[in-house]
Structure 1
């Protein structure tokens, strides 16, 4: 069993602030740090730390910003098929306020040049048990990877973030869709322009997951501290996996930790509900620490945390 993650890698520049500034306003930071980040990089690290064998397909520049990303990946035990190209490594400017909320601005850099899959990359995808995708890299590449995985019998997981208009051909290749409440609402409106958007409560999330499962075989709709809703096609009901109440320090990367831990759990067992509980515990651990990659827990930490919560 093995996992391939295709996605973005950024160097995160994180500013701690008392509150996130309004448009046109300047605030003074209370702290600064830089960490490895990017949705693909976060998720592949989460897969590795949660105990699965994983390979990363990504693009980095030849600049100094790439060095901490490569060091972090190798320390985590990630196998890589990383292209080094003549573009700046992706970066993200992140502000985190006193209540652990954040805003993020991404400069894609080398990530935008992850175009056209090589024979080695296609081979890795075809030989893997799972392919995990996000949407911070060019959509045609995401589609090519999903289509190739589907033809090879590789289980395709798409975290549709950041949300964008998705071609039906991509949805047709997806086995499991992971979205948060905002992404789910926007995607449902894409699929049915006549629907009325409503605030997503836990009850509404179950109904919304039922809408989305018409387009893909399985959906996980994450609800932050409220947990997640799981819905599989053919089932009459959705399962609500409650969140684990903790004191959050920094929510950056929590969703990526959830996705990576979930796929690592599925790589061991096909029980989607249990994998969601494992991923929920991993995300709860991650928000108690600063930074995206530094906050991602190890498998034993997650297992021990589940045992006491």
Structure 2
């Protein structure tokens, strides 16, 4: 769990002895909150097992997640004398650079996850240590949960290939192209897919502005989906939004190409706003994009017609979802009252536990 502060519209990155002014900024829940909020906005009943500090950032994060976004924090914990991790994200050249500070969680992920209710799917980061020799997600996998494993950033940059052995029992692995290349020690997309497919039934590699590719070893299907061309404001959390959409589409039983296209769409909509979590689209955003795409196709726009043909499945999907509006990141931390629906009562104070 992170508090994210995002700067956009920068002429370049800062260098020692200089000051750079950004045209825009936004504050948002970050880290695993990106994925939790993105999933909740797509209508999935979503819970989060994570540690929160006892500072003002944590107060705000807890309120936004539980009251504004409807994320179940039953398995989350707050710890006394432990501060919130913070990331400053700089949007540069269509990607992002980050500076982060934080401390290891007071309790292992498995301890928190053990308190979570049963779930059809869980998300895990393979860079996180397990309890003893067994990763925490083995227990939910044995109970029938589909485990979607994320590559995660390795701060040591060793990218130990032995970590891939922990994928045993996972349903899918969703690294980005850099992570896939680093973990497999390969230099071509085909070799990366083949190496990773040895460990999980479904491999999905995100490639940012180049789209995504996937291989389903159970069926032998291999799919490559191009990106959607949009004006990107901030790529922070785009991979998390992609993963949330992929999980939702998988739980709906969609075929592989449709799942990938939907995930590419959701991440493309997200990068047009500040921050990964509060930039995540709701079904109303998806409906607006679809209406605009169809309208452009009817004018004879060839690119819009090709896009509309590729996403025609949305005609059948959209009627089953509420088209509610969602909140976006603000420049500074919003007042607590702004993070709650008008009819909502204040959230009960969560238990704060000792960090030691």
TM-score where L is the length of structure 1: 0.83
Q: Which residue in 1 is equivalent to 2:222?
A: 238
Query: Hey, what's the Cα distance between the residues in 1 that align with 2:17 and 2:219?
Result: 49
Query: Hey, what's the Cα distance between the residues in 1 that align with 2:58 and 2:150?
Result: 24
Q: Which residue in 2 is equivalent to 1:83?
A: 77
Q: Which residue in 2 is equivalent to 1:209?
A: 193
> In structure 2, do the counterparts of structure 1 residues 123 and 269 end up closer, same or farther at CA, with 3 Å as the change threshold?
farther
Offset from partner CA, 1:142-173 (integer Å, 9 cap, x none): 95321112211211001111144353552112
Task: Flag the structure with higher helix content.
Answer: 1
Q: Which residue in 1 is equivalent to 2:14?
A: 21
Asked if the contact 1:206–1:238 (Cα under 8 Å) also holds between the matched residues in 2, the reply is no
Instruction: Kindly state the Cα deviation for residue 205 of structure 1 after the two structures are TM-superposed.
Output: 2.2
User: Is the aligned partner of 1:159 residue 2:150?
Assistant: yes
Asked if the contact 2:249–2:259 (Cα under 8 Å) also holds between the matched residues in 1, the reply is yes
Quick check: which has more Rg, 1 or 2?
2
> In structure 2, do the counterparts of structure 1 residues 66 and 134 end up closer, same or farther at CA, with 3 Å as the change threshold?
same
Instruction: Kindly state the Cα deviation for residue 231 of structure 1 after the two structures are TM-superposed.
Output: 0.3
| 20, 36, 39: which one aligns with 2:31 | 39
Q: Which residue in 1 is equivalent to 2:140?
A: 149
Report how many aligned residue pairs link the two structures.
Answer: 283
Structure 1 unaligned runs (5+)? 1-8, 190-196, 199-203
Q: Which residue in 2 is equivalent to 1:229?
A: 213
Q: Which residue in 2 is equivalent to 1:261?
A: 245
Query: Hey, what's the Cα distance between the residues in 2 that align with 1:214 and 1:141?
Result: 24
Structure 2 unaligned runs (5+)? 294-306, 308-356
Asked if the contact 2:52–2:79 (Cα under 8 Å) also holds between the matched residues in 1, the reply is yes
Task: Flag the structure with higher strand content.
Answer: 1
- After superposition, the CA RMSD in angstroms is 2.4
TM-score where L is the length of structure 2: 0.73
Asked if the contact 1:131–1:154 (Cα under 8 Å) also holds between the matched residues in 2, the reply is yes
1:57-76 mapped onto 2 (5 Å cutoff): 57-74=49-66, 75-76=68-69
> In structure 2, do the counterparts of structure 1 residues 168 and 96 end up closer, same or farther at CA, with 3 Å as the change threshold?
closer
> In structure 2, do the counterparts of structure 1 residues 299 and 205 end up closer, same or farther at CA, with 3 Å as the change threshold?
farther
